[in-house]
Amino acid sequence: MHRPSFNDLTAFVAVADHRSFRRAAEEIGTAPSTLSHAIRTLEDRMGVRLLNRTTRSVSPTEAGFQLLTRLRPALATLDEALDSVAAFRGDVSGTVRINAPRVAAAMLVDDVLPLMAERFPDVTVDIVVEGKLVDIVSGGFDAGVRLAGSIQMDMVCVQLGSLVEFVCVASPAYISRHGEPGSPEDLKRHRCIGHRMPGGKLYRWEFTRAGQELTVDTVGPVILDDEDLMVDAAVKGLGIAYVTSPAATAALADGRLRRVLRPWTPAPEAIAIYYPGHRRVPPALRAFLDTVKTLTHGSMQP
């Protein structure tokens, strides 16, 4: 048997991961026909079929799965060895595409990007702000940012910043007119700013106290799908908002908002940057992750 080339093996992993010649070709930067020819050459050299192909789908055969399982860690180790030299050259460059909700994107802009610009001036960070949880691989992203609890278990996670809380906030004027709720059940008699989830459902507000957990369906004059707008609506006295603490930090600090139902605050959660563990981590993404770790002082695995 002729020993397969490194390029052919890399092509096989890309096609097997994406289950598509077109998407794999886009990742590698070649034509689908070239990739298809490389896979046929690899199969001929190995004397076994590695991929099942139909007009609509591509999937590994049993032999393909066996090869893929062995190749992924080997290629990842090789990539890490090659990437480790980049820092010594001082020429880390490229683009990192990140998918993040607005609040997390603001954290990146405030904290991570200034240090990135200082340490890795030739790296471009391309942030797409999106509330919906997306498939970062099929979407062409290097990494995503979400609450750690919503991230798939097969992803590698790096914590971004400190833990965040979900807080209930209202303006002093609202509290003066309507009073302050003493328990989550009291919210049913208050004007609340609804939170529309990316999938279309209304978010049920969650509370915890002394081991007791409650969820509350709220009603009010406005429903929004953006936390910054929820904070603005609360500042204008439209009702009580339920948002992550970073979204309300500035308004709480200058007195435009006050926290309510503080004893019922749920346990804090981590915001994490996540990326597929089975894919190569390019130098630009590794530089980005190292910068985040420097600021956060630690990483986490789901």
Work out the mean pLDDT of the chain and round it to a whole number. 88
Higher pLDDT, 216 or 278: 216
User: Residue 302 domain-assigned?
Assistant: no
User: If you average pLDDT over residues 206-223, what whole number do you get?
Assistant: 92
Share of the chain above pLDDT 70, in %: 93
Q: Render 187-248 in DSSP notation, one character per residue.
A: GGGS-BEEEB-TTSPBPPEEEEETTEEEEE----SEEES-HHHHHHHHHTTS-BEEEEHHHH
Flag whether pLDDT at 99 surpasses 50.
yes
For residues 50 and 109, membership in a common domain is answered with: no
Q: How many domains does the chain have?
A: 3
CATH number of the domain where residue 191 is located: 3.40.190.290
Flag whether pLDDT at 159 surpasses 70.
yes
Flag whether pLDDT at 84 surpasses 80.
no
Contact 193, 240 (CB under 8 A): yes
**Local confidence band at 127 (pLDDT 50, 70, 90 cut-offs):** very high
Cα–Cα distance for residue pair 31/95, rounded to 1 Å: 21
User: If you average pLDDT over residues 181-196, what whole number do you get?
Assistant: 94
**Local confidence band at 75 (pLDDT 50, 70, 90 cut-offs):** confident
User: If you average pLDDT over residues 258-276, what whole number do you get?
Assistant: 93
For residues 104 and 242, membership in a common domain is answered with: no
User: Residue 257 domain-assigned?
Assistant: yes
User: Residue 245 domain-assigned?
Assistant: yes
For residues 180 and 254, membership in a common domain is answered with: yes
User: Residue 77 domain-assigned?
Assistant: yes
For residues 36 and 101, membership in a common domain is answered with: no
Cα–Cα distance for residue pair 48/125, rounded to 1 Å: 42
Flag whether pLDDT at 1 surpasses 70.
no
Flag whether pLDDT at 244 surpasses 60.
yes
111: containing domain: 91-160+270-296
For residues 170 and 155, membership in a common domain is answered with: no
Most confident range, picked from 7-21, 83-97, 132-146, 232-246: 232-246
Q: What is the pLDDT of residue 90?
A: 58
Supply 246's token pair. Answer: 């970073």
User: If you average pLDDT over residues 38-54, what whole number do you get?
Assistant: 89
Burial class (CB in 10 A: 0-12, 13-18, 19+), 51: buried
Lowest mean pLDDT among 184-188, 217-221, 274-278: 274-278
